[in-house]
Amino acid sequence: MIDFITACDYLGTFAFAISGMRLASAKQFDWFGAYVVGLVTAVGGGTVRDILLNATPFWMEQPSYLIISALALLYVIAFRKYLIRQNNTLFTFDAIGLGLFVVVGISKTLAFGFPMWVAIVMGTITGSFGGMTRDILINEEPLVFRKDIYALACVFGGIVYYICILLNVSDSLTQFLAAVSVFATRVVAVKYHISVPVLKGEE
Taking residues 48-65, report their average pLDDT: 95
pLDDT at site 159: 97
pLDDT at site 202: 65
Residues 44, 134: Cα–Cα separation, whole Å: 9
CA-wise closest residue to 104 among 176, 166, 167, 163:
176
User: pLDDT higher for 6 or 173?
Assistant: 173
pLDDT, tens digit, for every residue of 172-203?
899 999 999 999 999 999 888 888 887 776 66
Domain boundaries defined on the chain? 4-191
Return the minimum-mean-pLDDT range out of 122-126, 129-133, 149-153, 191-195.
191-195
Percent of the chain with pLDDT over 90: 60
pLDDT at site 146: 72
Confidence of residue 87 (pLDDT cuts 50, 70, 90): low
**104 with 126: CB under 8 angstroms?**
yes
User: pLDDT higher for 26 or 114?
Assistant: 114
Taking residues 144-152, report their average pLDDT: 80
**94 with 83: CB under 8 angstroms?**
no
